[in-house]
């Protein structure tokens, strides 16, 4: 009886490690093997006491993504790297890997940032969003799955942009 309990405990521990390990592996597979697409966004920076600071956004393609036609959305990569929807299919495409399940894209609406950079994002991102295709996310897409990999302002990663803005603000305060 004691061996049985021990085996069940070991099996439980292994299962608790295996499930998150598999999920991490799947996400990394999409990042490693997938193709990176850019999506223009419209967003703002809210605060949630449980999750912290994040940039909530809406994809510029949101209206096109809302359609209930087809379970799979097929993309084409434009010359500048931005994604363009070229088709919707009911069955999983076999001729391309640049497609996602319709629900996957609807889940992409938050990008978490450093708690201290939130107020800076509040201040500087609205001006940057007014420039076309200036604020965007990159998403790795591979065989129906997608992973949000980064957010950019121009060609600068969002964290680098916000740190630069904070440094400029601090320098101005010192020079006063």
- Give the whole-number percent of the chain exceeding pLDDT 90: 15
pLDDT digits (tens, 9 = 90+) for 22-37: 888 988 998 899 899 9
Q: What global pTM score does this model have?
A: 0.79
pLDDT digits (tens, 9 = 90+) for 115-172: 888 888 888 877 776 777 788 999 998 888 888 899 998 889 999 998 998 898 888 8
- Residue from 45, 53, 31 nearest 116 by CA: 53
Where along the chain do its domains lie? 1-33, 34-174
User: Contact at 8 Å (CB) between 94 and 134?
Assistant: no
Number of C-alpha atoms within 13 angstroms, CB side, residue 130? 3
């Amino acid at each position: 009886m004691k061996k049985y309990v021990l085996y069940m405990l070991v099996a439980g521990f292994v299962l608790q490690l295996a499930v998150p390990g598999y999920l991490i592996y799947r996400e990394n597979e999409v990042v490693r093997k997938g193709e990176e697409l850019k999506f223009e966004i419209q967003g703002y920076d809210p605060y949630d006491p449980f999750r912290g600071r994040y940039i909530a956004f809406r994809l510029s393609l949101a209206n096109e993504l809302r359609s209930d036609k087809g379970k799979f959305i097929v993309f084409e990569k434009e010359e500048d790297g931005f994604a363009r929807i070229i088709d919707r299919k009911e069955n999983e495409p076999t001729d391309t890997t640049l497609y996602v399940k319709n629900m996957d894209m609807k889940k992409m609406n938050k990008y978490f940032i450093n708690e201290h950079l939130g107020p800076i994002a509040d201040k500087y991102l609205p001006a940057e969003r007014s420039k076309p295709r200036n604020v965007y996310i990159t998403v790795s897409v591979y065989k129906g799955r997608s992973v949000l990999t980064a957010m950019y302002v121009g060609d600068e990663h969002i964290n680098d942009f916000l740190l630069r803005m904070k440094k400029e603000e601090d320098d101005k305060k010192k020079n006063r």
